[in-house]
Structure 1
Amino acid sequence: MEQLLTGKKRLPGFSEEWKILPFKKIAQLTKGSQLNRLDCVSNGIFPVINGGITPSGYTNEANRAAGTITISEGGNSCGYVDYQREKFWCGGHCYSVERPTLFIDFLYQTLKFLQPKIMRLRVGSGLPNIQKKALETLPLYHPIATNEQKAIAAVLTTADEEIAAIESDLSRLRQEKKALMQQLLTGKRRVKVD
């Protein structure tokens, strides 16, 4: 990821130059609108993406389109980068990345790679947050050619999918082990010794 997203390693067939631009030259950051907790419903259609890693609730209205990158603006997980594949409600402690000039999947992979650096932009101690101005000046290194952006994003997305599949298998195997341990250690299942 580091080699591909910094241009240290190039995919075959690409040799065009890369450039560095501040975030604000690549996309517009828009802060969401705070939704009253009373407006959240348990059976809502759209997730409310706010300052956390998981949705803070659900609603029947969306204020952002599917295929939008979000960056958590406030709270303990401020700086968390995510990609919303469905319509959603962007809350008051969340930035949405609007009108990107880079291929969206490449931009997401770049921001996810820079997530630790983004998290270090946080200020404040009680309720930490990331200032829009600090995020807008974040330098983003990228290939000029859209085809190279797409190729890099495809390689990294495939790796993400493989990791997710392996993590799912690992989780399943842990559950199987837990169930087997419970049966073996309570005597419900006995081991046959030859």
Structure 2
Amino acid sequence: MLAKWDRKPIGELCDFGNGYGFKASDWSERGLPIIRIQNLNGVREFNYFDGPPPREQIVVNPGELLFAWAGVKGVSFGPKIWSGPKGLLNQHIYKITPRKGVDPFWLYSTLRVITSKIEASAHGFKSSLLHVKKADIADQVVPVPTLDEQQAISQTLSTWDRAIEKTVALIAAKERRKAGLMQRLLTGKVRFGEFAGEAWKEVPLGTLFEPVTDTVGDKDIPPYSISAGIGFVSQREKWGKDIAGRQYASYTHLRKGEFAYNKGNSKKYQCGCAYLLRDQDEISVPNVFISFRPKSDKVSADFYEHFFVADYHARELKRYITSGARSDGLLNLNKKDFFKINVPCPSPREQEAIAKVLNAAVAEIDEHRNQLAALKEQKKGLMQQLLTGKVRVKS
């Protein structure tokens, strides 16, 4: 018969060690890296401290459990297992040291499950940026199995973690392969045999595409924005509400198969980004976007979608952007100049052939992303079952 579980506050299961408030004057170009909240999210850029640690307790080795008690809800706030390198813990992060009889990975998983409860008691500098007191974590009461069952639970959950890690690595490899294909195929460095004798032309964008000028007027069409690296996102999803306001009637009416270019600069697209509308029949977008569509069915929208996603328009746009971003975050780019940029123009058949290969690469990545989402959802459900004792595992 499986042993009955106890219920204990987190504070009885572990010890909390706070980080150190390093100042900019403490930073160096060598020494031990300073582990800040951004580093818990995978950022590999560090400041360093060169000298004896201010406190030995802030030294963190790979595999140790940390808890960011100040951060963005759902992003940087909460528990993390530090993957390395060895470093020194900055402020706003606890080092969590399990006590005797507590499995570290079980404790990490338990903290993940109760993070939403901890967030509910958090104090916010603003709606998304949270911080908590030690008691907000330590006073959380959780069901506690025996050490043997903790370890059995950890082993079960680790199986899902390994599957997730393998899928993440596979997606990264497929992304690198796709980037290589785009670099070779969209520039003409590699040609399909049947088209090898056909020279590519470079032509102004305006010879292939025309502006979309239809406005919403009194129609009821959902307003969307463009997010760099993602594409079209509904305003309600992005900001929690429609922000079009009085400008809505002048929004551009965009239909499936048409493009919109957002001339806001971003880290990924410093010269703005353009996306093809694929998944909706029609949407509305701000009229500060430059919307355009192929002039004929001899222009492959898919081919040019990959061209824009690869950011190959940036080199040409730099010729026409007159200065950096304006106060509203938009680049100084004239609409007429946008249509002057030169773009590659292989034959329609070659455009379609290249697009077919790249579409297949994207579809393969999307399939793996769906698998990853399913694995994460399965693990989430499994954690709820195993860590609450609804489902028991034999040690």
How does the TM-score come out when normalised to structure 1?
A: 0.75
Distance change (3 Å), C-alpha of 1:74 and 1:30: farther
Q: Which amino acid aligns with 1:129?
A: L
Q: Which moved more, 1:49-58 or 1:184-193?
A: 49-58
Distance, in Å, in 2 between the alignment partners of 1:72 and 1:115 is 15
Q: Secondary structure at the match of 1:13?
A: helix
Question: 1:185 Cα deviation (Å)?
Answer: 2.5
Distance, in Å, in 2 between the alignment partners of 1:87 and 1:12 is 38
Aligned to 2:192: 11
Q: Secondary structure at the match of 2:330?
A: coil
Q: Deviations over 1:144-165 (max 9, x none)?
A: x111011111111122122112
Q: Which moved more, 1:169-178 or 1:113-122?
A: 113-122
Q: Which moved more, 1:167-176 or 1:17-26?
A: 17-26
Contact 2:216-2:284 at 8 Å conserved across structures: no
Q: Which amino acid aligns with 1:174?
A: K
Aligned to 1:176: 378
Aligned with 2:342 (options 139, 145, 168): 139
Aligned with 2:204 (options 22, 41, 45): 22
Aligned to 1:55: 234
Unaligned runs of 5+ in 2: 1-181, 237-241, 243-247
Distance change (3 Å), C-alpha of 1:2 and 1:32: farther
Distance, in Å, in 1 between the alignment partners of 2:305 and 2:289 is 15
Aligned to 1:73: 263
Higher relative CO (Cα under 8 Å, sequence separation at least 6) belongs to 1
Q: Secondary structure at the match of 2:328?
A: coil
CA RMSD, aligned part only?
3.4
Distance, in Å, in 2 between the alignment partners of 1:134 and 1:93 is 15
Question: 1:123 Cα deviation (Å)?
Answer: 3.4
Distance, in Å, in 1 between the alignment partners of 2:305 and 2:348 is 14
Distance, in Å, in 1 between the alignment partners of 2:324 and 2:210 is 21
2:362 is aligned with 1:160: yes
Q: 1:54-133 residue pairs with structure 2 within 5 A?
A: 54-56=233-235, 63-74=253-264, 79-85=272-278, 86-100=281-295, 102-114=299-311, 117=314, 123-130=324-331, 131=333, 132-133=335-336
Distance, in Å, in 1 between the alignment partners of 2:252 and 2:204 is 29
Q: Deviations over 1:80-121 (max 9, x none)?
A: 322213122232232212344632221212112126838986
Q: Which moved more, 1:170-179 or 1:116-125?
A: 116-125
Contact 2:276-2:301 at 8 Å conserved across structures: no
Contact 1:48-1:90 at 8 Å conserved across structures: yes
How does the TM-score come out when normalised to structure 2?
A: 0.40
Q: Secondary structure at the match of 2:324?
A: coil
Question: 1:7 Cα deviation (Å)?
Answer: 0.6
Contact 2:204-2:343 at 8 Å conserved across structures: yes
Q: Deviations over 1:107-148 (max 9, x none)?
A: 2121121268389868325322242355334331231x1110
Contact 1:30-1:98 at 8 Å conserved across structures: yes
